[in-house]
């Protein structure tokens, strides 16, 4: 946890549509206006209790029940609710919790989701203010500026509160970052193989393309969005990547090696997940007697 090194601030100073600002913590204060009929039924996403960065139900409840925490005058009324969420850039990282003023005290909970009428009082950003410069967060900023690598917010939150000499493997992998691991997507391999074999219809093997794919695996530049090498011509693969609209998520999976066979994914729908390189046979794209092999991975039990 990093609660000893930060403070939290509720403010209404965000400019523009706050819901369009990604990777921030949003608070929404609502007033209960009564009940309504609704035929809608469903399952609501389970809330959490702690974002592990100082924003937790217990800490916010403590502040709410001691007095006004907002940057405007506010007196709570029965069944007012406070909703706090992480407006993640990647849906997989979305998290939230809700608090309700009930029986003259703030507590965990909310009004019935489908049958309550609520009116927004105000909304804003929950800002995390570090009391001193956090070297790990500064390192993450440098990685993004230099390599185009965006460390998942959930990882930054947990790792930024660890001691500087922590032996946590994810923390060390990011702190001592040297290179990324590239996994090709099935879409990219299928496209590259189809394009290559169409261009070389009399080719009975895929050795030349296989060699190119193997050599390019760790030569992808995130900032340039292409395969880069001073020794090898990767124009064919870059043309294939261009055919995918230059969409990194469709072409490759970018991962930071953690330890042994473990990797932290930093793009695509698995963003923020820990995976392990598959011990099974490598994946293959087959076309008659021609085939291409490429590495796959499996979700880690830790993620």
Cα torsion 253, 257, 261, 265: sign: negative
- pLDDT for residue 229: 92
SS3 276: strand
User: 235-243 vs 186-199: helix axis angle to the nearest 10?
Assistant: 120
Q: What is the mean pLDDT of the chain?
A: 86
DSSP state of 210: H
Distance of alpha carbon 3 from alpha carbon 1, whole angstroms = 6
Q: How many other CB atoms are there within 10 angstroms of residue 3's CB atom?
A: 15
User: 135-147 vs 153-160: helix axis angle to the nearest 10?
Assistant: 150
pLDDT band at 241 (very low <50, low <70, confident <90, very high): very high
Residues 5-21: tens digit of each pLDDT: 567 889 888 777 888 88
Short-list 190, 64, 29, 43, CA closest to 113: 43
- Burial label for 225, CB within 10 Å (0-12, 13-18, 19+), is middle
- pLDDT for residue 5: 55
Better-predicted residue by pLDDT, 114 or 241: 241
- pLDDT for residue 41: 65
Residues 142-169: tens digit of each pLDDT: 999 999 999 988 788 778 878 888 999 9
User: pTM for the whole thing?
Assistant: 0.66
pLDDT at position 172 over 70: yes
Q: How many other CB atoms are there within 10 angstroms of residue 186's CB atom?
A: 11
Burial string for 12-38 (b: 16+ CB within 10 Å, else e) reads eeeeeebeeeeebbbbbbbbbeeeeee
Residues 173-193: tens digit of each pLDDT: 999 998 899 999 989 998 998
Short-list 74, 70, 64, 75, CA closest to 107: 64
Which of the residue ranges 3-7, 17-21, 104-108, 208-212 has the most confident prediction, judged by mean pLDDT?
Answer: 104-108
Which of the residue ranges 5-9, 154-158, 198-202, 293-297 has the most confident prediction, judged by mean pLDDT?
Answer: 293-297
- pLDDT for residue 282: 65
Across the range 91-106, mean pLDDT stands at 91
SS3 65: coil
Residues 276-286: tens digit of each pLDDT: 988 766 666 66
- pLDDT for residue 3: 41
């Amino acid at each position: 946890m990093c609660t000893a090194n930060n403070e939290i601030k509720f403010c209404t100073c965000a400019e523009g549509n706050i819901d369009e600002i990604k990777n921030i913590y949003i608070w929404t204060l609502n007033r209960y206006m009564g009940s309504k009929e609704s035929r809608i039924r469903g399952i609501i996403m389970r809330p959490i209790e702690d974002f592990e960065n100082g924003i937790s139900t217990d800490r916010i409840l403590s502040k709410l029940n001691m007095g006004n925490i907002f940057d405007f005058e506010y007196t709570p009324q029965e069944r007012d609710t406070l909703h706090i969420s992480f407006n993640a850039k990647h849906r997989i990282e979305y998290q939230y919790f809700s608090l309700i003023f009930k029986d003259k005290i703030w507590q965990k909970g909310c009004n019935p989701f489908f049958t309550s009428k609520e009116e927004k009082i105000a909304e804003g950003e929950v800002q995390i203010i570090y009391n001193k410069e956090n070297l790990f967060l500064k390192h993450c900023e440098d990685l993004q500026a230099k390599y185009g690598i965006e460390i998942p917010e959930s990882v930054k939150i947990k790792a930024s509160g660890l001691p500087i000499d922590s032996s946590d493997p994810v923390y060390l992998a990011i702190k001592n970052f040297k290179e990324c691991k590239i996994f090709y997507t099935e879409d990219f391999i299928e496209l590259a193989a189809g394009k290559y074999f169409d261009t070389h219809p009399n080719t009975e093997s895929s050795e030349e393309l296989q060699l190119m794919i193997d050599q390019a695996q760790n030569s992808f530049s995130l900032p340039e969005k292409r395969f880069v090498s001073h020794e090898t011509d990767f124009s064919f693969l870059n043309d294939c990547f261009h055919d995918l609209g230059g969409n990194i998520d469709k072409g490759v999976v970018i991962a930071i090696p953690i330890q042994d066979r473990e990797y932290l994914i930093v793009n695509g729908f698995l963003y923020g997940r820990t995976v392990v390189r598959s011990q099974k046979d490598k994946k293959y794209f087959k076309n008659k007697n021609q085939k291409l092999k490429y590495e796959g991975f499996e979700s880690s039990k830790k993620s």
